[in-house]
Structure formats: structure tokens, C-alpha cells
Amino acid sequence: MLGKLMRKKTAEPDRLLAEEIASVKSRHIPAHVAIIMDGNGRWAKKRNLPRIAGHHEGMKTVRKISRIASDMGIKVLTLYAFSTENWKRPKLEIDFLMKLPGEFLSTYLPELIEQNVKVEMIGNFELLPSHTKNSIQRAIDATAENDGMTLNFAMNYGSRLELIQCMQEIAKLAAEGKIDPSEIDESLIESHLMTSHLPEPDLLIRTSGEVRLSNFMLWQLAYAEFSFTDVLWPDFDEQCMVSEIKEFQTRVRRFGSVEGDGNT
């Protein structure tokens, strides 16, 4: 009897969530959602746990949010996993963070493959530890032929560095006489960004209550809708994600004009 009651309690939220997902999918879904995953440390501190415990719990949230994003039909999910500024953190914490991609991908890679998810990464790949690079590259190779949602990790990523590298590449082309400076326009710049093959984000979500971009996709987010939630990343569950997409669907995006794009 107790087992039946427990299954009933579990089934009811699952059914309601499935109904909400179906409702969300009947309206305009953002093609690209970018998330600044913030609040792992504060989540751990509230529980008198070490910061690394928060990061480990946050890894579980990555799985949940990746799965529901794929279920909702989001084409690209970019997760800000480690910034170029994060190297300033304590070595013990950095070492743990560099092991997380290996743990996450080794545990959930079969599931990602089953869901037809394609793993990609933006950021300075070469400066990562070899074990981190190996884990990420294995996942990229194993999912290269998948054509479902792209799960894009921003790892050792900083937007200012990305823009500097972009400008250097374009300046080199100009110095070699391959382009004229007058030919430099938005499309040329975008073609030299790390996200050149991806659509620009439609929605940026930042968890934990902080209201800043933290050097994340400064060019790409020019016309994205922003959402800042007080929920700490380890507590950001499927219902939170559905609510964020529903809120996005109420907005009218004008892109500088008078008329919107019809989200509402």
C-alpha cells in the first residue's frame, strides 16, 4: 500500500510537468538559451558544507536542465561552467572543478547519446588540464553525429578574450591584404567568434540573485532577453526552467523596431 502511495505522489508531479512542457511547446520556444550557473558556493555555505559540495550538487542540476531543455525543443543550451577569471579561485576548488567535466560526462554520456544531444565547448581549450581536455574531447567525438540539442559548455571562457582574439584574426587578414578595413562589419566579426556556427541566445538566465553578465557572451547577448532569479543553481529544477520559458513567451521582442516578433 505504501509503495502505491509513493508511486502516486511521484507520478502526479511528473504528469503535471509533462502537461506544462506540452503547453510550452505549443508556443514560441527560444532556439538558444544561455545560463550563468551561479550560487553553488552559497548553497553549500547555507548547509555548512564545503564549496566543492555545492559544485557537485550543481553538476546534478546540469543533467536535469539539459534533459528538460532537450524535451522542450530548445536547439542550443550554453552553460557558463568556468570563466577565465575563475582561475583566481583557491587551487583545491579549481582542481575539483576541472574534474567535474570528466565525472559528469563519464556518468551521463550514454544518456546524452540516447537523447541525440551534441556536446560542444567554447573557450580556451588548450589551457585546460589534460584530463579535462580528454573528457571533453571524448564527449565531443562521441556525439559529433548527433543532430538534436547542442549542449555547449563555456569552459575557460571569457568574452573579452574572445573579442580580442576575434579582432586579432581580422587585423591579420587586413594586414595580409585579404580584406579591406571597410569590409569589417557585424557579419565578419560574428564569423570569427567562438559561436560563429550557433544562433545568438534568445534568453539569458542567471541564477542566485546576482545581476551582471560576468564577461559572458557580451557580443552575442546584444538582443537577448535577460532573466535573473534568486534561486541558487543547485536548487534550479525542471519547474524553474519551465517557468523561465513561460516568462520568456510573454515578452515582446522588438530588436530596435516598433513591432515585436510575436512571442505573445
Q: What is the pLDDT of residues 18-38, one digit of tens each?
A: 898 999 999 999 999 999 999
Grid cell 535573473 in the structure block, residue: 228
Grid cell 560526462 in the structure block, residue: 105
pLDDT tens profile 46-56: 999 999 999 99
Q: What integer pLDDT is reported at residue 262 of this predicted model?
A: 54
Is the four-CA dihedral 120, 122, 124, 127 of positive or negative sign? Answer: negative
pTM for this model (two decimals): 0.92
Residues serving a catalytic function are 38, 86
pLDDT band at 151 (very low <50, low <70, confident <90, very high): very high
Give me the percent of the chain exceeding a pLDDT of 90.
87
CA atoms within 13 Å, Cβ hemisphere of 127? 12
pLDDT tens profile 93-143: 999 999 999 999 999 999 999 999 999 999 999 999 999 999 999 999 999
Least confident of 2-6, 47-51, 159-163, 235-239: 2-6
- Concatenating the DSSP letter of every residue in 71-101 gives HHT-SEEEEEEEEGGGGGS-HHHHHHHHHHH
pLDDT tens profile 189-244: 999 999 999 999 999 999 999 999 999 999 999 999 999 999 999 999 999 999 99
Residue 78's nearest CA partner among 60, 65, 95 is 65
CA atoms within 13 Å, Cβ hemisphere of 65? 29
Q: What integer pLDDT is reported at residue 6 of this predicted model?
A: 43
Domain ranges for the chain = 29-158+200-221+240-248
Is the model's pLDDT at 7 over the cut of 60?
A: no
Grid cell 511521484 in the structure block, residue: 10
pLDDT band at 10 (very low <50, low <70, confident <90, very high): low
Please give the class, per CATH, of domain 29-158+200-221+240-248. alpha beta
Q: What integer pLDDT is reported at residue 5 of this predicted model?
A: 45
pLDDT tens profile 77-87: 999 999 999 99
pLDDT tens profile 200-215: 999 999 999 999 999 9
For residue 152, what is its C-alpha cell? Answer: 555547449
Q: What size, in residues, is the chain?
A: 264
Q: What integer pLDDT is reported at residue 201 of this predicted model?
A: 98
Q: What is the mean pLDDT of the chain?
A: 93
